[in-house]
Structures are given as structure tokens and as C-alpha cells.
Structure 1
């Protein structure tokens, strides 16, 4: 690869290839190589993460770029069993951007900060000439305090099962239909949401959590493949158990997408001990959007590093890491 392509930001094969061959090559260290949603630092008491947001359109059903910028970064903190605390906010704004829209975006950020119990403590603002950026880009970083230590995507074993908190693909489908001016009917909207309250409930409920990951770019397929490789296990997914809304199925059937590859912004997978399955599902279902919380996969010592998906007819196929650019600027 001699030039950066749009697929290098897809959260899949090309994205991982870019990170490994360029950034890991120069930045490699024992913290980074763990490849978690957030870096565990300060003797395991804190976690730290950063993310940038370029979503288009900046306003969409279920959220906007401001809401997304806090949910995305704070969710990465939450996935490590940590309470979000301190957030930085850096914005790049195109000349001529509407001040009223900026105020709406920042107000959305504040609402999500309140949900997470976090606050912005530093930031930066840049304004660039018209045409040098597309409206507004946001970067947020966050520090969180670890409440449950030992959560890691490198520790998954055959004693674990995989749950999901809700139906998949809503964010990706919402952004695509908004861009194309498509009306799928129903109540399709992004799943964009802060996940810390759900994680806190699981921790308070004594759930034995091995790993968690919010299934953003690359969707559930990318997250499961990353887990299989990092923990050197096989994962067998029951295809019929994956919850998908009819509106998302309609988008996928119309355009040839796989729902498991679509981005999510309020959907996460968690590996827990099998004995805690019903208790964890009961806790997740306390939350309004989680009525479809369920088990979707088992862990095996067969086909190490691979994800196999089994249909209701008993047929099996590999669920591969996504490749190519399905939907650029999804987050």
C-alpha cells in the first residue's frame, strides 16, 4: 500500500494493517500492544483513551456529532470497567459554520457528560478557511477510574460466553439512509448512547466480566475477530440469536450489506462466565433499549483466531474481518 485509501479508516482489515505497519512500528510499547479499547495506566488504577469524529451528516436521527464525540470516547473508558472522569475537547471548525448549530452540538456533549458523571477540563479550538474542513471535526480524550480491574480482550477463554446488549447495525444504517435521502419507514435511528450506566449496573450486580467491547467501526464482526485473535480462541456465533431490527434488515437486503459489519455507537459485546448469563441479561434488560439483550456466541479451542457463524439450518461459515470501505465517515 503506497497511498492511504478511504478503506484505511473502516475499522477492518485495511485499518488494522495501517495501524500495525505504520503506527505500531514507531510507537510500539507494552501498553499499546495490549490493543484494548483504552490504555490501562498508573498501575492499573486509571484508563485513558482518545477518538476523533468526522461523521457526515453531523446531525442524524438519534444524535449529532457532539453526542457521538462524548459517547464514543467515554464508552471506550467504560469498556475497561472504568468510570469516565475527565475529558478533553478539541474542535476544528470550518469558516462560516453556523453558531446556532455549534451551540446545539456543544449542548449535546454536555448532556452526555452528565450521564457519564464526567467533565471537560481542557480543550483547543481551531478555525480553518472554508473548504479546508467539512463543517466541524471533534477530538475527545478521556481519563477514567477503574472500578473493576482485570477486564481485558486478551483473557477470553472457553469458560466464557458472549452476550450483546441490544440489536445491531442501527447507527450504520441510519447514517447511510440519511446521506442517501432514503426513507425506510419505521423508527430507524442511531443507537448512539452512553454505556457507562449499563456497565456500572453489571459491576454493581457482581457479574464476572472477562472482556467488553463497543462494536463501532467494523461492527460486531470486527469486534469478535479482534477478540478471537487477541485471546487465541475460536468463537462460534449463533446467527439466529443476533438481534436485528426489520428496518436494518431492509437496508441490508436492499444494498447487500451484512448487519454484522455495520457500525454501532451504543451496542457492546461482553464476555462473561456462563454461570452469570441469566443474571447479566436481566440486568441489561432493565435499560429501555436493551429488550433484545441475549447470548450470541460460545468460546471454543477449535479454529483458533477465527469466528464461525452457524445458521439456523446448521450450516457454518467464517465470519471474516470486514474489508473494503462500506461506509466512510461513519463516526
Structure 2
């Protein structure tokens, strides 16, 4: 949040953010200290520098490679059942590291705030980010704050970046699937996308929906311990399961065959999709892991997923084949159909 020495922790006296809070003076210092330093700083007495400083020896002790990722979050609405933009930002970045076999270590947080946003809204988002970071076992160590005029952004945009250490011996990648492998997911599909759609209120829907937003690094650690030969992992965010399966089929030069009856979908998500003509395979998730593992390690992998709180409904949904390379096919009650990506985004601003 720039080079600010936190001399005090004074609560802001104004209810909304003004342009002066982005100007680099005392108003910005007060905003940063009140909202972000108080939520994120592990040592409130330490001065804040223009950069976070990392102990290379400690990082090297955890693995032999670094992973680095960044992501922007513009979800609308900011708050929804099961999470908010702050939870989403932390979990999304942690998960992007973890699916590469990395143990997430630290995050950055940059915010663009629209003039007029309630300060209490910022405090609530920062608290959610701090809670999610603690749950994932990571620290938010640096960041930045910008304020723009009304109409220049929609309330609040958040960008997070993350650094993780890849465990020795772990080699996962989107092009590593092989014929004979199996495809696993850890839980129900489409919950996040369906929840955001319902939370916007445009359709007057009253459905029992909640986002699956969660940090997957603990679950992934258990999976890799049980199935060290895991070929690849992805979190099925924008584009949903269909995007992940299509990407791996093309990158690995294989076919993927899944079974519709094996897909975990909640009644609420299925009902919403049937009502609106949506496909749960295309809906975004924020806590769904897709993993491809060798068939001989499938039982151990599935047991490890189901033993974790985020994997109780884990399922083996299909397998990798040498037939129809680059294509994803689903067995249904009415025969086989090809799974394609949607042409556009059916639900914009879901993350």
C-alpha cells in the first residue's frame, strides 16, 4: 500500500471514499491504515515498505521452483451467498497456484475504488480477505490503493497476485493427460455461476444457492500425497468444466469421455439451468477441482478427496481416451453428444 509508516490506527471519520483518499496524503494514509493495514498486517509496529521482502532460504526449503500468478476480480454484486469479492480474490489466486502443484505462500492486493463507496463496505471486504488468507495459510504482504471518480469503475475492482513454491517431484501440466487416465472432480458443478446469476435479482429467483468459493490448496495437498502421479489439475472457473476438459483434450492430444449420470449437480443448480436454458458444464465454479490421475491411482485419489471437507461429493466422471483426439464427448440417456465451449460468456462478471 506504498511506503507508509503506520504511526497510529485511527478510524476514518467519513462514511464514504472520496478522491482525496487516493491522493497520497494523510487521507490516503488514514484509509490504508484503517481498512487494509489493520486487516492484513501481521506486525502492526513494522514499517511498510514499497515492496514485500522474502526469505529465499525459507522458500527454497519448500520446493525447487516458484509459481507466480495474478488475477483481477470485477464480480457483480460485490456480496453474494457464500462469499464476496474479497473471498473470491484470495481463493481464486490461491487456487491458481495450487493447481500447478504449488504451496501458496504470499499474496498482494491492489484495489481500484469508485468515489462514493461506503468505507464500511471496504472494511467488510478487507475482513473477508484476511479470513480467507488465514484459512488458506497465506499472508497478504503488499498492495496498492487507487480511487477513481464516480462512473470510472463500478464500486470496487480487486487485483491479487500470488507466489507459491512447487513441491519437489510434482510435475503437473495441461498437456500431460494420457489414454487410460481418469477424470475426477471434488464436488458439485455450477454453484458459483448460478449463485451470482440469482444474486443479481433481475429474475426474481428464490433458490437455495450458495457459491462454492473456497481455497483448494489443502485438498490438493492431500490429493498429491495419495496420488503422486497426478497428471494435471485445474480449477473450473470461467467456462466451467467444459472449458477445462476442452483445454486438456486439445493440449494433450487426447479424447475425453464423461458420463452425464456421474456429474455431481445440485437440484437447485439443475433447476435453474433447466429454467434458463443453461448448461451446468459451462457455469463457473470457485471451489471445484478437476484432476486427471492414472487409473491405478484413482481409488486412492478419490478416497483422499472424499476424506477432505471440500471433497465429500467427489466423483469419477470419466476418462481419457485415444479416440477423437481434441474432443470431449458425454454419454447421456439419449446417446452421445459433443461438449463444446460457448461462443461468448453467458454470465459476464462472475469473478
Same fold, judged at TM 0.5 (above): yes
TM-score scaled by length of structure 1: 0.84
Alpha-carbon RMSD across the aligned residues, in angstroms, is 1.4
Match of 2:51 in 1: none
Mapped to 1, the partners of 2:227 and 2:250 lie a distance apart of: 28
Give the structure-2-normalised TM-score.
0.79
Which of residues 95, 115, 119 in structure 2 aligns to 1:99? 119
Query: Where does the alignment leave 5 or more consecutive residues of structure 1 unmatched?
Result: 1-42
1:196 to 217, 223, 246: 217
Deviations along 1:12-60, whole A, 9 cap, x unmatched?
A: xxxxxxxxxxxxxxxxxxxxxxxxxxxxxxx961111110000000000
Q: Does 1:144 align with 2:144?
A: no
1:56 corresponds to which of 76, 79, 88: 76
Q: Tell me the CA shift for residue 151 of structure 1.
A: 0.7
CA deviation string 1:54-80 (max 9, x = no partner) = 000000000000000000011000001
| C-alpha deviation, 1:82, in angstroms | 0.7
Inter-partner Cα distance in structure 2 for 1:144 and 1:183: 40
Residue 277 (1) aligns with residue 298 (2)? yes
Checking the alignment, whether the CA contact within 8 Å between 1:68 and 1:265 is kept in structure 2 is: yes
- Helix, strand or coil for the counterpart of 1:154? coil
Are 1:263 and 2:284 matched, yes or no? yes
Q: Counterpart in 2 of 1:33?
A: none
Spell out, residue by residue over 1:175-222, the C-alpha distance to the aligned partner (whole angstroms, 9 max, x if none).
001113533333x10000000010111123344211000000000001
For the Cα contact (< 8 Å) 2:219–2:311, is it kept in 1? no
Q: Specify the SS of the correspondent of 1:180.
A: coil
The answer to whether the 8 A contact 2:170-2:228 is kept is no
Q: Which has the higher contact order (CA 8 A, sep 6+)?
A: 1
Counterpart Cα distance in 2 of 1:94 and 1:292: 40
CA contact (8 A) 1:78 1:199 kept: yes
Please tell me whether the aligned partners of residues 214 and 265 of structure 1 are also in contact (alpha carbons under 8 angstroms).
yes
Contact persistence 1:214–1:266 (CA under 8 A):
yes
Please tell me whether residue 324 in structure 1 is matched to residue 344 in structure 2: yes
User: In 2, Cα distance between the equivalents of 1:245 and 1:289?
Assistant: 15
1:170 aligns with 2:191: yes
